[in-house]
Amino acid sequence: MMAGWVRKYTGVDAGFSLVETMVAMLIFASVSAAGVAILISFNSGQQALATADDFIADMQISSSLLRADLEHALPRATRDASGAALPVFSGGLRGDQLGVREDGIVPLLGFVRGGHMAALVSDTAPAVQRVEYVLKDGALVRRAYARPDTTATTPVTERVVMRGVTSAEVRFRSSDTWVMDWYGRAGQPNNMPGVVEVSLEIEGRGTLKRLYAVGAGS
């Protein structure tokens, strides 16, 4: 009786063969690899979307700031820390045309704008301020001075408005003519351009080019 039971038990296949086990492991590995690939693709897509969002935000901020500043540009004479007269509007110039700067950075654009918001909350704050746009450490940076006539101790605020800028170029239009640099002196006629074209070469994204009216809001 016992021998018969044993023969009956051993005659039943109670496990997986080696081949079946290997096939199951292969299927599991394939599904796992597919899941990892989908996860990596999803993360890459999320990162790409985040990068695109950052770029769009930078583009909107830079365009809005440039438009607001240039629309409120004023033909006001100013002086630098040494007391030398600055052009009322300048851009696209070499360092020797603007004199030696302490930081060695020549502004892409430099001018005085009205509508300084600080004047709305302080009786002593001026309604105008000097604004410069410079290329610094691979970015377009806006410099805003607390007062139009700067000194060595004049507070200045820097703000990155566009990252990944490899090069920049400006053009100026006045009397139906485009020029590559501008140096408008106080008292001269037409010392400010009518339109400024700003071209930024963005790493991996090509050229971003915009036109801005000058003095439209003054």
Task: Tell me the per-residue pLDDT of 81-90, one tens digit each, with 9 for 90 and over.
Answer: 777 888 899 9
Task: Tell me the per-residue pLDDT of 134-189, one tens digit each, with 9 for 90 and over.
Answer: 998 899 999 998 888 888 788 888 999 998 999 999 999 988 889 999 999 887 88
Q: What is the number of residues in the chain?
A: 218
Q: Domains along the chain?
A: 53-213 (3.10.610.10)
Check whether 55 has a pLDDT greater than 80. no
Q: What pLDDT, on a 0 to 100 scale, did the predictor assign at position 90?
A: 92
Q: Please give the full DSSP string across the chain, using - where no structure is assigned.
A: -HHHHHHHHHTS--S--HHHHHHHHHHHHHHHHHHHHHHHHHHHHHHHHHHHHHHHHHHHHHHHHHHHHHHTEE---EE-TTSPEEPSEEES--HHHH---TT-PPPSEEEEES--THHHH-SSS-S-EEEEEEEETTEEEEEEESSSS--TT--EEEEEEEESEEEEEEEEEETTEEES-EEEPTTSTT-S-SEEEEEEEETTTEEEEEEEESSTT-
In single-letter form, the type of residue at position 195 comes to: V
- Tell me the pairing of strands 129-136 and 206-213: unpaired
* Average pLDDT along the chain: 78
pTM passes above 0.75:
no
Measure the CA angle with vertex 161, ends 71 and 53; round to 5°. 115
Q: What pLDDT, on a 0 to 100 scale, did the predictor assign at position 217?
A: 47
Task: Tell me the per-residue pLDDT of 113-125, one tens digit each, with 9 for 90 and over.
Answer: 987 665 445 555 6
Q: What pLDDT, on a 0 to 100 scale, did the predictor assign at position 1?
A: 47
Best CA proximity match to 190, nearest among 174, 172, 173, 170: 174
Check whether 10 has a pLDDT greater than 60. no
Q: Is there a contact between 109 and 132 (Cβ–Cβ < 8 Å)?
A: yes
